């Protein structure tokens, strides 16, 4: 069965009032997810809870899936901005690379494994949408930021990783968090889980083995 694409936002809110409307729709969606679960989530119920007309909701979102995808995308953008801030601080403050790796992983666990404001039903939906182009692009951006940050940091033990090492490290970490969310694992939020992901990433990114010679920078080639 082919995967059907989700149509994204119809209109980008540019005025403060429009942005507040979007925020209200997002909050109403989160409340309904918490109270009724994904099965009870409809555009009509969200519009009613948000105090807007269904026509207003449809001005911005063609479907309930589009609302959820927009919420997930907004959180991913916040994570990317947070990670860029971590890279900038690491360069300024000469932070040890392994500590930066830990902070990266902690931000991913907190945002996509345990975030209170997204709620677990939305987290699970987010991970079911990880095939969407927007989500894959965000993952690729994260990988590129890691490589650029390591190049700027110029630590002798952590040269910019090759394509295979970078792909394996980022997808392994995200895959482990994804599995923990879907399995409602008690490991989420534990030091042991964080330590394991840090050790895994460190082993790949430190490159104590011959680095691959590929010059390919399009991570999409590894999707297959």
Distances (CA, A) of 41 to 31, 122, 177: 10, 11, 25
Position 126 pLDDT exceeds 90: no
Residue pair 125/68 in contact (Cβ under 8 Å)? The answer is yes
**What's the pLDDT score for residue 168?**
92
Which segment of 4-13, 62-71, 87-96, 127-136 scores lowest on mean pLDDT?
4-13
Position 208 pLDDT exceeds 90: no
Which segment of 40-49, 67-76, 213-222 scores lowest on mean pLDDT?
213-222
Measure the CA–CA gap between 35 and 41, rounded to whole angstroms: 10
Classify residue 131 by its DSSP letter: T
**What's the pLDDT score for residue 41?**
85
pLDDT band, residue 78 (cuts 50/70/90):
confident
Position 148 pLDDT exceeds 70: yes
CATH architecture of 69-222: Orthogonal Bundle (1.10)
Tell me which of 222 and 103 has the higher pLDDT: 103
Model confidence, pTM: 0.69
Mean pLDDT on 1-13: 52
pLDDT band, residue 24 (cuts 50/70/90):
very high
Which segment of 61-70, 103-112, 214-223 scores lowest on mean pLDDT?
214-223
Q: pLDDT above 70 covers what percent of the chain? A: 77
Tell me which of 224 and 9 has the higher pLDDT: 9
Measure the CA–CA gap between 127 and 68, rounded to whole angstroms: 12
Residue pair 7/58 in contact (Cβ under 8 Å)? The answer is no
- ∠ CA 92-97-101 to the nearest 5 degrees? 110
Query: pLDDT tens digits, residue range 102-122?
Result: 988 998 888 777 765 456 666
- Residue in 205, 217, 207, 216 with CA at minimum distance from that of residue 169: 205
Position 13 pLDDT exceeds 80: no
Average per-residue pLDDT for the chain:
80
């Amino acid at each position: 069965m082919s995967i059907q694409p989700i149509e994204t936002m119809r209109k980008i809110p540019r005025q403060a009032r429009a942005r507040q409307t979007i925020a209200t729709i997002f909050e109403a969606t989160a409340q309904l997810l918490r109270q009724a679960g994904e099965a009870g989530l409809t555009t009509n119920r969200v519009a009613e809870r948000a105090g807007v007309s269904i026509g207003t909701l449809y001005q911005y979102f063609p479907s309930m899936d589009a609302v959820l995808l927009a919420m997930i995308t907004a959180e991913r953008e916040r994570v990317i901005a947070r990670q860029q801030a971590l890279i900038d601080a690491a360069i300024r403050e000469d932070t040890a690379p392994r500590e930066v790796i830990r902070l990266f992983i902690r931000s991913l666990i907190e945002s996509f494994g345990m975030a209170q404001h997204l709620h677990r039903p939305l987290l699970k939906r987010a991970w079911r949408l990880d095939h969407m182009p927007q989500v894959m692009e965000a993952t690729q951006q994260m990988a590129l930021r890691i490589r650029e940050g390591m190049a700027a940091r110029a630590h002798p033990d952590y040269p910019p990783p090759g394509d295979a090492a970078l792909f394996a490290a980022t997808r392994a970490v995200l895959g482990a968090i994804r599995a923990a969310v879907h399995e409602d694992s008690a490991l989420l939020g534990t030091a042991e889980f964080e330590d394991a992901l840090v050790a895994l990433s460190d082993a790949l990114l430190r490159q104590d083995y011959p680095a691959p010679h590929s010059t390919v920078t399009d991570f999409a080639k590894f999707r297959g």
